[in-house]
Amino acid sequence: MTGESTEMPYTRDLVRLGFESVADWSINEDNQERITPKGIEGRQGRMTELFAVKNALYAFCSGEKVLYIGKTSQSLGKRLAGYSNPGAGQRTNLKCNALIKARIAM
């Protein structure tokens, strides 16, 4: 043990490191998952740009709490699509999908 903290950082820590909050994950009235641009007008273009990035770090946050940090060699959009619509044999995607849905339902 190195004495380093194993606690997850807060959202503000990620922003200081260069992370951007670009989208919200939700479930609509038809029980379908949606990833929508966050907040300001014109954000769709920025979300599209970031979702094309490969070899990206990403995080799932709820309020100020960081729930998960991941890295993808795929495009970010492709990685998130895997989480929102996992195949039967994709264990990590199935696990993350279940965790995301449980958090949204809270």
pLDDT tens-digit series, residues 40-85: 456 667 778 888 889 989 888 888 888 888 899 999 888 888 888 8
Least Cα distance to 10 among 57, 62, 66, 70 occurs for 66
Average pLDDT value for residue range 79-106: 86
Predicted confidence at residue 74, as pLDDT, reads 93
Instruction: Using the predicted structure, report yes or no on whether residue 23 has a pLDDT greater than 70.
Output: yes
Q: Which residues have C-beta within 8 Å of that of residue 99, sequence separation ≥ 6?
A: 67, 68
Element holding 34 (H helix, E strand): strand 33-37
Asked if residue 8 has pLDDT above 70, the reply is: no
| Residue 90: DSSP 8-state | -
The yes-or-no verdict on residue 92 having pLDDT over 80 is yes
Within 8 A by CB and 6+ apart from 58, the residues are 69, 70, 71, 72, 76, 79, 80
> What is the rounded distance in angstroms from the CA atom of residue 48 to the CA atom of residue 25?
15
Q: Please give the pLDDT value at position 39.
A: 57
What rounded mean pLDDT belongs to the chain?
Answer: 80
2 pLDDT higher than 50 = no
